[in-house]
Amino acid sequence: MRVAMISMHTSPLQQPGSGDAGGMNVYIASTARQLARKGISVDVYTRATRPSQGEVVEVEPNLRVVNIVAGPYEGLDKEALPTQLAAFAGGVLLFARCAALSYDVIHSHYWLSGQVGWLLRDVWRIPLVHTAHTLAAVKNEHISAEDSPESEARRICEQQIVDNADRLVVNTREEADNLQRHYDAAPDSITVIPPGADTELFTPGTERATERCRRELGIPLHAKVVAFVGRLQEFKGPQVLIRAVAELVRRDPQRNLRVIVCGGPSGRSATPEQYRELAEELGVARRIRFLDPRPPEELVTVYRAADIVAVPSYNESFGLVAIEAQAAGTPVVASRVGGLPIAVADGKSGRLVGSHEPGDWADVLSELLDDDDTRIAMGEAAVGHAAEFSWPRTATHLEDLYRAVTAHAPERCYSRRAAG
């Protein structure tokens, strides 16, 4: 079997945690690797952003990333990428034709790639599987006060993909419900396949290993540590954690608390400075250490160094950071939104917070920070909970789905439908 994965706006080889790279990058890279190790040939098509990348990157046997030139290498943000859909699709078609490639199935990721996948599906006459990862209607429903809403143009494009894809893959039952509620998706067109985590890399550390992690990060050994890992944008909620920390310090100025914020800015208006300035304004700058995004093999150090990992997002399709942190033996405090109630076992492997109010977050954080026995027990339970999610399991479900859609490709696979 040969699979064409489409990830136009971000490469699976890009460092997660900055720019447009995040959980989706981890998802694509991890599932592609696992499928390749099953003997399935996977080509991931993405937009070239540097001339030094080369056209083809051989990642491992059966897996390569193909960099398609579509627009300038630099200076083109995600909002401008729709202007390059035709160039990108044309580049994919040209590469495949020149290499005499044929594929059995297309799997597109995110709505920009879905538009390309829709075209390729009709040209190549093979099934299209699509994973949205985020949806405009859902993002707008859960938007923070500081964020700009997603455009109606994006919503229309998503509707077209929903109407034309042969199968829609989602992470959770809630995502399936959102597709039906906001986009009138047919229930039998949706397949729920939970993502996973690298449970071989993200493992608990010993007490001595935790001390070493803290020394490497310059964190006091006896402080209580809360970590945030992810892109620095309002939608991910780093400002929620910073304000909650300020509230904790206001209640108890002597509290021995440190915070790690690991990630880079995402979006045109986002900068690390705005969060540093917020911490300075609230009087907690000396308690917060900002780190650049880190590769997974270094990120495990952050998880192990923390007593709690905070995921204060306004919405998450699943929440890979939450699973990775739990696999490393660290309990998670997360927003009760999206797929996070599945990623975090409330009261067992962590806690869920029903709002984004700093006081509510301060209440939950203080309860766990001050109750060592409960927090440690949650960390132990978190490892078992995370073990239920693995990338090999995700890849197996995807392989089954690919074989099903190729064996029973419906007639609508080769027809077009407009949407408005």
Q: Which residues are annotated as a binding site for UDP-N-acetyl-alpha-D-glucosamine?
A: 15-16, 23, 231, 236, 294, 316, 324
The residue with tokens 């080509």 is 43
Phi and psi dihedrals of 167, rounded to 5? -150, 140
Binding-site residues sit at 9, 15-16, 20-25, 78, 110, 134, 154, 231, 236, 294, 303-304, 306, 316, 324, 330
The token pair at 392 is: 């090999």
> Which amino acid makes up residue 329?
G
Binding-site residues for 1D-myo-inositol 3-phosphate sit at 9, 20-25, 78, 110, 134, 154
Report angle CA 163, 118, 411 to the nearest 5 degrees.
65
Helix or strand or coil: residue 42? strand
The token pair at 297 is: 């093999």
Query: Which distant-in-sequence residues (6+ apart) come within 8 Å of 111 by Cβ?
Result: 132, 136, 154, 157, 158, 161
The token pair at 135 is: 């949806």
Separation of alpha carbons 395 and 391, rounded Å = 6
The token pair at 418 is: 């407009």
> Which amino acid makes up residue 182?
H
The token pair at 304 is: 């192990």
Nearest to 255 by CA among 206, 215, 307: 307
CB 238 within 8 A of CB 244: no
Binding-site residues for Mg(2+) sit at 303-304, 306, 330
